[in-house]
Amino acid sequence: MRWTPGGISNDVEDRRDSSGGGGGFGGFGGIHLGIGGMILVAVLSLVFHQNLFTALTSSGPAPGASAPDTTRDAAEQPEMQFVSFVLDDVQKTWEQMLPAQAGVQYRHAKLVVYRDSIDSACGMAQSATGPFYCPEDEKVYLDLSFFQELSQRFGAPGQFAQAYVIAHEIGHHVQKILGIEQKYSNLVETNPNARNRLSVGLELQADCFAGVWGHSTEQRGILESGDAQSALQAAAAVGDDRLQRMATGHISPETFTHGSSAQRDQWFNTGFQSGDIGACKTSNAF
């Protein structure tokens, strides 16, 4: 991926040395469990020989605040610059695309970089939550350690795979602006049994929106050979079926919340090939 290292985006909040607080997997309020959340739940299930996909509402002990780690902060500076570049590029793209394609003005989200645990407007979360978007404060939350998990443990290396993660979470912000997030919340409130099915549609649409941004990067010559495949590989790596098989040895489609590997691959590619948010109709409900 062609990009130029620079400063830290004005839309990035660095809270790596001020993170901390309580909570296990529970108490996430309005958080959409990020694409990394399913990955890390799968890993923990393997480690503890327990199906933690059914334990996301349990609480845990409160960890203490992170101690300042200036050496680690300095070592992560290239990643911070990359995150800043991608965030700014994604948001500048939506600034142009949303009014042109949907007649709606885009407003910027913030991206909070934290370490270990964080207190958001949607509740307390830990790194095990993975990257997530909180609609209550319109912020994306990211622990940089997730990128290492994505590459080394789940076989989705490359900077464009990391960029896909950010673009997916900003896709949820686009849903908030378009009113899709509110429709989803209203539907879940009136029909709680449909939560998983509706969640799959919401997550696949965020994948598609990430693909729409990916289309623009190809048009602008940012992509290099293999970048698109890297993003498709990342999308497939976090499919519900793949993660459930790794964690429990079997697949339960009725518990899917993000979609299968094939679906995630398909919808990212739909956005990538079309460059049209109108092509991202993943659910008749919204």
Q: What is the mean pLDDT of residues 212-241?
A: 78
Contact 1, 220 (CB under 8 A): no
pLDDT of residue 202: 95
Q: What is the mean pLDDT of residues 189-217?
A: 94
Q: Which of 9-18, 71-80, 93-102, 149-158 has the lowest mean pLDDT?
A: 149-158
What is the C-alpha separation between 7 and 11, in angstroms, rounded?
11
What is the C-alpha separation between 273 and 286, in angstroms, rounded?
22
Q: How confident is the model at residue 157 (pLDDT cuts 50, 70, 90)?
A: low
Does the pLDDT at position 192 exceed 80? Answer: yes
C-alpha pair distances (Å), 20 with each of 65, 73, 110, 124, 235: 4, 16, 19, 9, 29
pLDDT of residue 31: 56
19-76 residue pLDDT tens: 664 333 333 445 555 555 555 555 544 444 444 444 443 444 444 454 677 788 888 8
The domain spans of the chain are: 12-276
Which residue would you say has higher pLDDT here, 90 or 58?
90
105-152 residue pLDDT tens: 999 999 999 988 889 999 887 887 788 999 999 999 999 888 887 766
pLDDT of residue 156: 63
pLDDT of residue 15: 93
C-alpha pair distances (Å), 83 with each of 13, 45, 223: 11, 29, 16
Contact 149, 14 (CB under 8 A): no
What are the tokens at 50? Answer: 């327990």
Contact 257, 38 (CB under 8 A): yes
Q: How confident is the model at residue 153 (pLDDT cuts 50, 70, 90)?
A: low
